[in-house]
A and B are shown apart, each in its own frame.
Chain A
C-alpha cells in the first residue's frame, strides 16, 4: 500500500467519480453547434479528462510520498491542530454544523427570510454548543434587528418572502410596516 492512507483512496475515488458522473451527464447536451466544431461538450470533456489524469497523479504522489506537503508550496499549510473524532456525538455535532445552514438555505423559498432567520440563528447557536437560554434569545433578537435594520430599512434590499402561509403573511406584514415607516419619515 506504499504510504497510502484511507483518505488518499477516498480522494482518488471522489475525483474519478466526479469525472465519470459528469462525463455521463455530458451526453445530455451532446449536440453539434453549427458554427463551432467542438460543440458544447468539447471543453468540459477535456477538463474531465485532465481531472481524471491529475487524480491518478495525486494518487501516485500519495502512494509514493504520502500526503505531506511538497516543499516550496506557497500558501500551503499543514493543519495546525488536526481535530481527532473520538465519539459518535462529535460526528453528529459536526454534521449538524454543516447541515443546518444548508437546511436554512433550502427553506428560504417556502419560509422566507423574515420568518426563517430568527429560528435559524437560535438553532445554529444551540448546534455550536451554546446552552444559555437568555444568551440565545437576546442575541437572536439583536442579530435579527441588525439585519432587518441594515438591509430592509437602510439599504432597501429585496429579501426572500417565502411562498407558504403563514410565512408569506408575516413577510407581507413586515414589508407593509416598512412602507408605512417610509411614508411616516
Chain B
C-alpha cells in the first residue's frame, strides 16, 4: 500500500488553490435569490475616460474591473492598483447604488475591502491573477494569489453579482501549504481609517470590546451580521452576512473592521472556505444595511423580521428641521431606558430620519422594542413598539431644540469666520457633553458629526447670518478668523427650546483684521486634509469655507495617499483670489515592512508631505505614487517619477516623533528608534541613525533628502517638545532643516485650521501671479516662523547687514539679535525663551504692551549682543521662542526626547507621573536612573473643561507658542555651519 501511495504522491488534483489556469472557485450563497424587473449583471474594465464614479472617496481608475446590475455598481481594483493596507489590487475599492430610475448614485462610502488570513502583514492576500467571466446570468470577477511574501499559502476569491443582487456573493478559499499548522482568521478587512464609518453588530450595537495588537482575541465577537454605516451623505451602508455558517466572527475599531470565519487552526495541506454576502444599501444609517442583512438571514435561516415605519415629531416647533443636531434613532430590545453602560442591553439597529422626519427599519420579529431618539448626541425622545407581526408603526416625539442666529462680520462686512460654542457653566457642560454615537471625540455641545459636514462638534463656519440649532443651555459663542484677527465673544447666552411664533435670538459678533504682519509675509499651513483622506468626511465645500475663515493665504492640500486639489470648490466659491492651494500629498505607510535588523517588529516609515504633485484625475492615486514598502529615499524617487520637481518642490517630514496607530509609527524618528544622546553617524551611531542618512537601493535620494520638518503639529501643543527635540538634535548634528508649524486639520472638529501656521517671508502674493517655485524656495531656506498666535520677528543686525533666520546661510558670531514680538490682545505672550545649541540660555517676560501704531495688537521688543549668546571658535545656532510657559516635562528613559509631562497635576514632573495600568507595579529606575516605562506626554487634554481664557477657547489644548527658524552661526569662520562641537 505504501508503494501505491507513493505512486500517487506525484498527482495533484489541481484547482484555484494550486494556481491551475482556467480554474473556477465554487459559487457562493447559492440559496439566495433576489427579484427585480429586467436586471442584467455585467462585467467590464474601466477604460481611459470611463471613470463613472466621482467624489473624494473614489479611487476608480482605468484598468479596474466593474461588476454592475442596475442595483449596485462595484469596482474591483486592478492588480497594479493597490490601496491602503492591501499589498496588491484585486480588492473592492468603490461601491455605489443605482436609484430606482437607473441613475448611478455617487454614494460610495467604501475605502477598501480586502481578504486576509490573519493580522500579520504577510497574511494579507497578494493577488496575482484576475479574470472576469459570466456564469449563467451572473457576472464574476475571480482573483487567485497567495499570502503576501509567502507563496506557500494560496488564496482564491470569487466576487459574483446576480442580475438582481443588492450586493456581492463572495467565496474565499485558503490553503495552508506550509508543513506546520497555521492560525487562520479568514476575513474581510474593511479599512475605515478612523473618523469615518462606524461598525454595528446586533446586540452590541455601536460599541465593541477594545483590543490591542497583543489582545486581539479579547475583541473578537460572534454575531449574525455586521453593518458598516457611513453616517454621512451621500453615503451607503455595507452589510456582511455569512452564508455557510450561522454567525460571523470579527473585530471592530474606528480604524478597521475585520469579519469572517471564526479563527481556527489549519493543519498543513488543509484548506478552508468562507462564503458571505456583501450587501450595499443606499443611506447614511445602519438601518440601510441592517434591513438587507435581515432579508439575507430570512432567506438563509428562516429568521422573520418586522418592518417598522415611523416618524419623529417635534410638537411645539413650527419650523422643524429634522436634520438639525443630526437626530438618529437607536432601537433596543425590550421596553427599557437605554443605558450605554449596561452591557445586558441589546441594540438592534440605528436609523436617521429623513428631512421630513420619516424613517423605516427592520428588526427581528418578536417582543417589544424601544426606539430612542438622540439629538446633539443626547437622549431626546423615546417610544416603544411591538414587533410581533410583519409590520409596525411608530411615532417618536422630540422636544424642540434651541436656536440662535449668528451674525458675524469681519471688518464690518459679512465674511467667513469660525464660531466655537462652549457651555458657559458647569450645568450646561454636564448636560451637553457627549460623543457621536459613542465614538470619536467628546464634544460639548455636539452640534453635528465631529468629523463630517458642518456644523461639527462645537464649531460652525459662517458667512453672513446663520441660524444654529443647539440643546437648551447657557453658552459662550466665540467668533474668530485666525490668529491675526480680533475675536468677539457673546458670553452667557441663555438658549431655551424654541417656542411657536418666536424667532431665534440674534447674536451679532464683530471681528477686525489686525495689522500684525508686515508686507512680504504670507501665512501658510502645509498639512491639511479633507474627505479625500481616509480619515475625514468633511465635504469640500465646508473644507474650503474653513480655509477662508482661517484667513490663511496658502494651503498645501495634503490628503493621505491621494492627490486632491479642491479646484472645483475653489472656483465655485471664487476662493482663488484670496487663497493659494499647493497641490500635494501626505504619504501614510500602512504595510509593515522589515526596517531595522535590531528590531523584532516590522515598521512603516512615518508620514511625509510633498508638494507640488500634478493631479491625475483618473490615476489610481490621482497623481500620487504607491507609497508602500519603501524607505523615504525611495518614496522621494517615486515622487519625482510622478512629476514632483526636484529643484523647486518641497518634502516635509511630518510629526517626526509619536505613537502608534495599529502598530504603525506616526514618526520616522520613532520608527528608527533614534536615541538623541547618540551621534547621528560614526561607529557609535545606532542602526537607525545610520538608516536616517542612507540611500535605499535603487533610489535616487537619501532618506535624509527632505527639506523641512514639522516642529509644531496640531492645535494641541503636547508633542511640540518631542518634535522640537528631534529638530534641535539634527541641528546640533549639522543637519539643518527648516522648521514648520501646521494644523494637520482633518475636519472642522479636532485640529483648528491656522492654529498653528507658518508665516513665510516672501515677495509672492496670492493670485494669478503667484510663483510657487519662488515661494517654495523661501520655505526651503527656512525663511519663516511658526506660531499659533504670537508673532516673533527676529533678525541679527551686523553693521548695515540684517540677517534673517535661514538654514542655508551661516552668519558670523557678531552683531545684535533684535526681536520684535506682536500678538492680538487675546493671545497672551508672557515668556520669551532663547536657545543656543538647544540649551535654554535665557527666559524672561517680554512685557507686552498695547501697540499704539497697531490697534488691537500688543507688542514688545528686545535685543541681545550675539557675543553674549555665542562664542567664536565653533559653530552654533540660535532660536527664539515666545508665548506662554512650556508645560513641565521630563525625559525618563534618557533617550534625549521628552516623554512625560505633569500627569498628576501637581505642578512638577516626577516618576509618579508615569502612568501604568491598574494592578501593574510602579516602574523602577535602572542603575543610571532611567526608566523603561514612561509617559504619557500629551499636553493639555482636558479641552472639555470650561475654557480658562479666550485663547484656550479658540485654540483648544494649545498654549501660546511661536518659534523662529535658526540663525546658523559660523563660529569657526570656515564659511559653513557644520553642527555643534560636543
A and B part of one assembly: no
Q: Which residues of A contact B (CB under 8 A)?
A: none
